[in-house]
Amino acid sequence: MADRRSITANGRRGSRAQESFFDYTLLFIVLFLLGFGLVMLYSTSSYDGGLQHGDPAFFLKRQLLSTILGVIAMIVVANIPYHFWEKFALLGYIVSVILILLIIPFGYEAGGAKRWLRIAGMSIQPAEIAKLGMILFLASLICHMGRKIRTGKGFLIVLGVPMPICLLVWKVTENMSSAIIIFGIAVLMLFVSCPDYKRFIILGLVGAAVCALAVYLIASAGSADSLGVRGSRILAWLDPEAYASGKGFQTLQALYAIGSGGILGKGLGMSMQKLGFLPEAQNDMIFSIICEELGLFGAISILIMFILLIWRFMVIANNAPDLFGALLVVGVLGHIAIQVILNVAVVTNTIPNTGITLPFISYGGSAVMFLLIEIGIVLSVGRGIRLKDL
């Protein structure tokens, strides 16, 4: 009798040891960021919504619908084994190219940029699909290449794979920031797969030298009239006051918002810059409104939430059942981390204005939906972890 009880107890312990892991901390952080984003979006966009559309909640309603659809998609994807998506990796890459090219004849313009397609009555930004497609394709490619990735040829192949997508996103949609993010995702996924760090040091130094040379040549030109849009933005970044009526206007207004917020801010809903002074306040510059209304305390709190989110990604990646799952998580980590860093850097005038949104918080239906799909993939990888492995 005692032996039977011992066997039963050991069986229960064994079953508990084999239980799947689910990261509730990651889920809570994502839901918190979504809720906070909706609150800040309403606070930031209510003036423009009432003025332009006769409804202060116009932007909130559209974002809420996209968020609900994204959460549903996240739940569905989280319950699908992540290896299911490996068979669609090449298809995702091809579809990304096709959708970007379709912008040329069928895309529509909003805010001076032609970056969207209307599909089933919804506005979709192909660049967001390309980010997800690139993560899937590179994870599959790196796993199939195996040790070949450590050779010079393999290294260059992986770096070359995102280049066509990056060029299309840059030239067709005129969205350099998304092109930078896609390439950054590829570099980070390659970095965790290849132990030869000297190549990355050389790559970083070459990239820094090219950027420094470009800035020097543009600054030497001295006049924005002979430069394109991006050249003008670099000049405005170097001296925003000199271009206060042009490319430097948005940056200056964002800096005014950040400076006027102080430590604790003016209070939720009390921003002045959102009242027609700061262009695209609910999109690229929403972080400046967070600083103005919630102060340095609110801004740091949100950045800490993003840091915690990245930490949970690292926990799942380190304990993933296989390389494919780990690379999927690293790709999503790179996407969100790079985008947060670039957005905050633009708002604080650390880098030239690139027009990039803050994940989960800025207005953008397709962006939040595909981000939540990526979170679903991460949760799916997490479910593949067994508790005995932690």
Model pLDDT for residues 81-103, shown as the tens digit of each residue = 999 999 999 999 999 999 999 99
Query: Cα separation of 26 and 309, whole Å?
Result: 6
Please tell me the distance from the alpha carbon of residue 380 to that of residue 75, in angstroms, as a whole number. Answer: 9
Q: Which of 182, 192, 132 is nearest to 161 (CA)?
A: 182
Letter string b/e over residues 64-77, b meaning 16 or more CB atoms within 10 A of that residue's CB = bebbeebbebbeeb
* Phi, psi dihedrals of residue 20, rounded to the nearest 5°: -75, 150
Q: How does DSSP classify residue 82? A: G
* DSSP-derived secondary structure for 119-155: ETTEEE-HHHHHHHHHHHHHHHHHHHHGGGGGSHHHH
In which band, very low, low, confident or very high, does the pLDDT at 223 lie, cut at 50, 70 and 90? low
Token pair 């003016």 is at which residue? 266
From 363, 342, 362, select the one nearest 353 (Cα to Cα).
342
Highest mean pLDDT among 109-113, 281-285, 366-370: 366-370
Closest by CA to 256, choosing from 241, 267, 234, is: 241
Burial (0-12, 13-18, 19+ Cβ within 10 Å), 204: exposed
Q: Supply angle C-alpha 128, 131, 134, rounded to 5.
A: 145
Instruction: Examine the pLDDT at 148 and tell me if it is beyond 50.
Output: yes
Distance CA 274, CA 323 (A): 45
pTM of the model: 0.90
Per-residue pLDDT tens digits for 24-35: 999 999 999 999
Task: Report the pLDDT value the prediction gives residue 107, as an integer from 0 to 100.
Answer: 81
Which pLDDT score, from 0 to 100, does residue 224 have? 58
Q: Is the pLDDT of residue 16 over 70?
A: no
Pick the more confident residue, 293 or 281: 293
Largest CA distance in the chain: 91
What local confidence, expressed as pLDDT, does residue 34 receive? 96
pLDDT for 366 equals 87
How does residue 6 score in pLDDT terms, banded at 50, 70 and 90? Answer: very low
Average pLDDT of every residue of the chain: 87
The 10s digit of each residue's pLDDT in 162-209 is: 999 999 998 888 888 899 999 999 999 999 888 778 888 888 899 899
Contact 376, 73 (CB under 8 A): yes
Which pLDDT belongs to residue 112? 67
pLDDT at 164: 93
Residue 276 zone, left/alpha/beta (φ > 0; ψ -120 to 50; rest): left
How many Å apart are CA 203 and CA 187, to the nearest integer?
10
The domain locations on the chain are 22-200+248-389
